[in-house]
Structure 1
Amino acid sequence: MPVLPAWLTEPLWDQFAALLPERSTYAPTHPLGCHRPRISDRIVFDKMLQLLRFGCSYQAIADTTCSATTIRNRRDEWIRLGVFAKLKRIALESYDRIVGLVLDHIAVDGSITKAPGGGEVAGRSPVDRGKQGLKRSGMTDGYGIPLGRVLAGANRHDSPLLGPTLDRLADLGPLPDDITVHLDAGYDSDNTRALLDERGLYGRVANKGEKAPIQASRRWHVERTHAWQNAFHRLARCYERRAAVINAFFDLADTIITVRSLIRRAWTSHRWGERPSRRP
């Protein structure tokens, strides 16, 4: 069974391949020009999707078609080229052009996951008996499309991460004049309101000590997006130690979420050659 359906994998690969530089099949530095051929990028891309979805080790996913070392080397090469970040940006631009990002309402919240291997952005988790954990401060639009994130140790509070997270709005181009930021009670402080005022943003912040259903505001969209991201087991239990690698996997997951939402929402209003026969 494929890790992702073909109606989602194929457009992802087509755009990903367009971002890759042309490389010769054989190493040009070999004196005879007949060294072992380079492993196909498509094979490694499929392995990256399997790693992201299943969360297994590189050794477990390697086989006769591709070794664990090749997957790591190609992953690091693509990170240096910025391919994952470019892919996510293209997906966001396409979604905004076809469906439209709901940027007048955004939601920000943190989520703690396990990080058994520690690493650059791991810290003692206050909800897991002090074990190593990872916190992501995620931001979404009014529908739940992921716009950006900030990675930190699990022992960091959500409130100080709000400013760096909102800085990701600068990458989205023109913004609406009036933007409402939906936050939970963890952000209920004078510092948060002062930060929003400085940026010209309106804040809808839940009050501490007052019970209210999450449906009372538009904050639930970011909670749903965290659930979407945690469905990728590489993110729910992160063994990567370098922040650049973690961000690359998050960019790939956010791209999948964005393209999947784009196809589902455009299915009733658009027609294209590879359109699924039924609504996904």
Structure 2
Amino acid sequence: MPALPSWLTEPLWDQFAALLPQRPVYAPTHPLGCHRTRISDRIIFDKLLQLLRFGCSYEALADTTCSATTIRNRRDEWIRLGVFARLRHIALEAYDRIVGLVLDQVAIDGSITKAPGGGEAAGRSPVDRGKQGLKRSGMTDGYGIPLGRVLAGANCHDSPLLAPTLDLLDGLGPLPDDITVNLDAGYDSGRTRITLDERGLRGRIAHRGEKAPVQATGRWHVERTHAWQNAFHRLARCYERRIDVINAFFDLTDAVITVRSLVRRAWTTHRWDDRPTRRP
């Protein structure tokens, strides 16, 4: 069963493959040059998409094409090369060039998910009876395109994560002169306002004790993006212990979300050879 439709998988793989270095089929150091051939990168890429989407274990994905150890080793190799982060950055640049990021409206919010295996970014969850949990402080543009995230333990409050999350704006290139940051009532404090003022940002913060639907401001975009990310079960229930692996899976997820939104929004305004026959 494919993890993603072909109209989404193929452009992701084409760009991903362009970022990979050339590798010989046989290791040149082998004395006879006739040992087992290197497993295709495309096979490993599809396995990682299945792992990300379905949340199963590496051993459950292992078959005659590759082993669980091969998947892990190739994953770590790609992390060292920075391929996942570059793929997310390229997808974001393509979206900004074709559709345009809405950077004058930014939304930030935290989301807690389960982390049964613990690890470097896990902590006692206040909403899950003290079990191990992972918090991400995510930032999106005004439409909900993910711009980055900061990982922390589930016992970390949203407010201290605001400053490092806002620092991610520096890597997005030229920014509008007037940026509004939409925040929920968890950020309603003097410290938050000082953090925004130091960066020349305007804050739209929900007030504590006052009922306000999430649709009343731009906060609902980041809530929707959290739901999109949690649809990838490897993130909703994270068994990874290393923070670089978790960030790699988030980078891959953000690239999928960005390319999917790009195809959907460009379907009515652009034409290309492998364009889906109907709006996805």
Work out whether 1:244 is the aligned partner of 2:237: no
Aligned to 1:60: 60
CA distance in 1 between partners of 2:169 and 2:267 (Å): 28
Q: Deviations over 1:48-101 (max 9, x none)?
A: 000000001000011000100000000000000000000000000000000000
Shift in Å, 1:214:
0.6
Q: Deviations over 1:114-151 (max 9, x none)?
A: 00000000000000000000000000000000000000
Equivalent AA in structure 2 for residue 263 of structure 1: V
Shift in Å, 1:275:
0.2
Q: How does 1:1-280 map to 2 (within 5 A)?
A: 1-280=1-280
CA distance in 1 between partners of 2:16 and 2:272 (Å): 19
CA distance in 2 between partners of 1:244 and 1:51 (Å): 16
| Partner SS state of residue 110, structure 1 | strand
CA distance in 2 between partners of 1:62 and 1:2 (Å): 15
CA distance in 1 between partners of 2:230 and 2:2 (Å): 19
| Partner SS state of residue 240, structure 1 | coil
Equivalent AA in structure 1 for residue 57 of structure 2: S
Equivalent AA in structure 2 for residue 269 of structure 1: T
Shift in Å, 1:3:
1.0
Equivalent AA in structure 2 for residue 234 of structure 1: R
CA distance in 2 between partners of 1:113 and 1:275 (Å): 35
Gaps of 5+ in 1: none
Percent sequence identity is: 84
User: What stretches of structure 1 move > 2 A for 4+ residues in a row?
Assistant: none
CA distance in 2 between partners of 1:38 and 1:225 (Å): 37
CA distance in 2 between partners of 1:61 and 1:208 (Å): 46
Shift in Å, 1:35:
1.1
The Cα RMSD (Å) is 0.4
TM-score, scaled relative to structure 2: 1.00
Equivalent AA in structure 2 for residue 86 of structure 1: R
Gaps of 5+ in 2: none
Equivalent AA in structure 1 for residue 161 of structure 2: L
Q: Deviations over 1:156-193 (max 9, x none)?
A: 00000000000100110000000000000000000000
CA distance in 2 between partners of 1:256 and 1:278 (Å): 19
CA distance in 2 between partners of 1:17 and 1:215 (Å): 39
| Partner SS state of residue 91, structure 1 | helix
Equivalent AA in structure 2 for residue 159 of structure 1: S
Equivalent AA in structure 1 for residue 242 of structure 2: R
Q: Deviations over 1:252-276 (max 9, x none)?
A: 0000000000000000000001100
CA distance in 2 between partners of 1:147 and 1:244 (Å): 17
TM-score, scaled relative to structure 1: 1.00
The count of aligned residue pairs is: 280
| Partner SS state of residue 73, structure 1 | helix
| Partner SS state of residue 156, structure 2 | coil
CA distance in 2 between partners of 1:28 and 1:78 (Å): 21
| Partner SS state of residue 193, structure 2 | helix
Equivalent AA in structure 2 for residue 188 of structure 1: D
CA distance in 2 between partners of 1:33 and 1:168 (Å): 47
Shift in Å, 1:232:
0.1
Q: Deviations over 1:204-227 (max 9, x none)?
A: 000000011111101000000000
| Partner SS state of residue 260, structure 1 | helix
CA distance in 1 between partners of 2:197 and 2:219 (Å): 19
